[in-house]
A = this chain, B = another copy of it.
């Protein structure tokens, strides 16, 4: 059975920063409100500028949150996964979405209208609390992106920062290990979109990092051998 199985009560997607970590009575409510929906890879859940009249809770799959310029340049702010809520900040303000959301693989989500979600928040203080934490996480992710782009003056620093942040999230070996070992399914193009760099520059830098022994690549597996050294490229 997939993580969700369309049932919020038996769903195994939980965790400290997971929106769905709620007491049973709230989960009962969550189960019956909104609707379940699937998206294929490449499909958009929502677009920038649209009226923020609903929120999405990710049940399964990865979703790119992006901002685009009129010339077609794309910036990836964050990649949302199971347990994340999408569109919450804009919906809470009752304005328009400030970013777009695009499925990176086949995804399952729960769609809840703004008004329904507001009611849901009013009924349970835990929902309120989790919503606040969800938006806070969004806020931190955006802050981190901005800081990266503004403070690391070199392309190497920006890319290093993206790799390390990504690695710290998806680390597959123990936290205690000095090395970071993780899956890196993103294309150079996507890494570039996160770091504000061109695809070619990403290729060149990853090659350089590899040659210098800072990272190791084996297919989708990436190992950052010396996180501190990589981090110091920030300069």
> Would you list which residues of chain A between 122 and 145 have a CB under 8 Å from chain B?
122, 125, 128, 131-133, 135-140, 142-145
Cβ-based interface call for A70 (8 A): yes
The answer to the question of A212 belonging to the interface, with a C-beta cut-off of 8 Å to chain B, is no
Residues of B with C-beta under 8 A to A234: 69-71
Which of A33-41, A87-95, A179-187 forms contacts with chain B?
A87-95
Q: Are B152 and A149 in contact (CB under 8 A)?
A: no
For A131, the chain B residues whose CB sits under 8 A away are: 132
How big is the A interface, by class? Answer: 35 or more
Chain B min CB distance to A63 (Å):
16
Query: Within the complex, what minimum Cβ distance (angstroms) separates A115 from chain B?
Result: 14
Q: Smallest CB-CB separation from A125: which chain B residue?
A: B122
Contacts of A70 in B (CB 8 A): 234
Contact in complex: B146, A92 (CB < 8 Å): no
| Smallest beta-carbon distance A234→chain B, Å | 6
CA distance A73 to B152 in the complex (A): 9
Q: Name the prevailing secondary structure of the A interface residues.
A: helix
Which of B73, B77, B150 touches A67 (beta carbons < 8 Å)? B150
The distance in angstroms between the C-alpha atoms of A122 and B128, with both chains bound, is 10
Encoded as 1 (CB less than 8 Å from any B CB) or 0, chain A from 222 to 235 comes to 00000000000011
Instruction: Say if the beta carbon of A196 comes within 8 Å of chain B.
Output: yes
- Whether the Cβ atoms of B140 and A98 lie closer than 8 Å is yes
Residue picked from A121, A136, A145, most chain B C-beta under 10 Å? A136
Q: Which of B69, B122, B142 contacts A142 (CB 8 A)?
A: B142
Given known pairs A71-B235, A234-B69, the reply for A93 and B146 (CB within 8 Å) is: no
Q: Does A203 contact B (CB under 8 A)?
A: no
**Sample of 16 A–B contacts (CB below 8 Å):** A67-B143, A67-B150, A67-B151, A70-B234, A73-B151, A75-B146, A75-B150, A77-B143, A88-B136, A89-B135, A92-B136, A99-B143, A121-B128, A128-B128, A135-B135, A142-B146
